[in-house]
Chains A and B, each alone.
Chain A
């Protein structure tokens, strides 16, 4: 049961197209799991349409309609991506970003219990990563300067302030120092989106900090 949701700001910016790509992907993933937020999304889309209806119309060039009419029968149907049911594991949107099998991804180890893989979204301002935490494992204590969004894809984890299951959406700012720990019965896979690099507070992991490396290139 999903119990942690994106806030009003994120849902509005997401529906409006005012949110960067990587966090938008994170919100869309949550919507897959959450009928409550899907309904909110539909309402916000209607809000957008209501505002659209009220725009002061801007005259278009006189020949524009003819130009469009002339193209109607010659335009190829756009190739659109159809969400096919994923055989197993990650949602189609994540599979699309992975571009290969889960096991073949370029994983980096953080200690013995956690591995991280960055996926390229094209968004220059945000990092998008998959976290795989072994059953019972924990992510080393860390802080971050910006905002961190987390979406649980599989399994569940807990930290100082709660317990999170598949579909749960978390937003943390840099003031929280937290140590997410996967439940003991199974591995936990999450999506993490960051708008500023993470800082592991334990020196042993600093050398392995993948975010700093990524930011340098």
Chain B
């Protein structure tokens, strides 16, 4: 079982990006990098603009930083462990977090890479399971009711806490928490076995 294409029904496109990353990692292929840039840079920019206003005002700086990290770290990419967009998303999340703390002159010995170390398992069975989880989540995401998807987008794309989301949407905190829990159930996430 290869874990990626076979288990990932909508994964044809993601396969293309995985191949780009492998080409960049193995052969420093600039044409592959340009293709990846064309697709992902506008997403990273959208992600930067979604963050705090402070970080949003540096959105293209963030795009540059993320894309350069993608180039530098491409040889560490392993398609069996994560899809290309998961891999790029985590780089963008880490860079946005560090950029925000840097702009705030946050004096800390801890970086985003310390908070989110590589938690991929070396166990191939678990990696395959992990990839199944990932493609299922993607498939189910489109079926979430708007009121749940909206909250997840605010937490993940805008980096807001549940309390901040509650305040912004003028909802009780308990409602936000229960909508997130409903979404987790719908996406079949974190369900105790």
Q: Which residues of chain A have a CB within 8 Å of any CB of chain B?
A: 8-9, 11-19, 21, 24-25, 28, 31, 38-61, 64-65, 67-69, 71-72, 75, 77-78, 80-81, 83, 93, 96-97, 99, 120-123
Contact = CB atoms under 8 A, between A and B. Distances in A.
Contacts of A52: 43, 47, 85, 88-89, 92, 156-157
Given A17-B112, A48-B89, 8 more contacts: A8-B190, A18-B156, A18-B161, A42-B133, A43-B137, A49-B86, A51-B153, A54-B141
A55 B155 contact: no
A56 B110 contact: no
Contacts of B27: none
28 contacts: A9-B180, A15-B156, A17-B93, A17-B112, A18-B156, A18-B160, A19-B161, A21-B110, A25-B114, A28-B116, A28-B117, A39-B133, A45-B89, A47-B189, A48-B90, A49-B86, A54-B141, A57-B42, A59-B42, A60-B45, A64-B41, A65-B38, A68-B37, A75-B72, A96-B109, A96-B114, A122-B106, A123-B108
Interface residues of B, dominant DSSP: helix
Interface residues of B, number: 73
B137 A50 contact: yes
A46 B137 contact: yes
Contact of B159 (A18, A44, A57): A18
Interface string B44-60: 01110110000000011
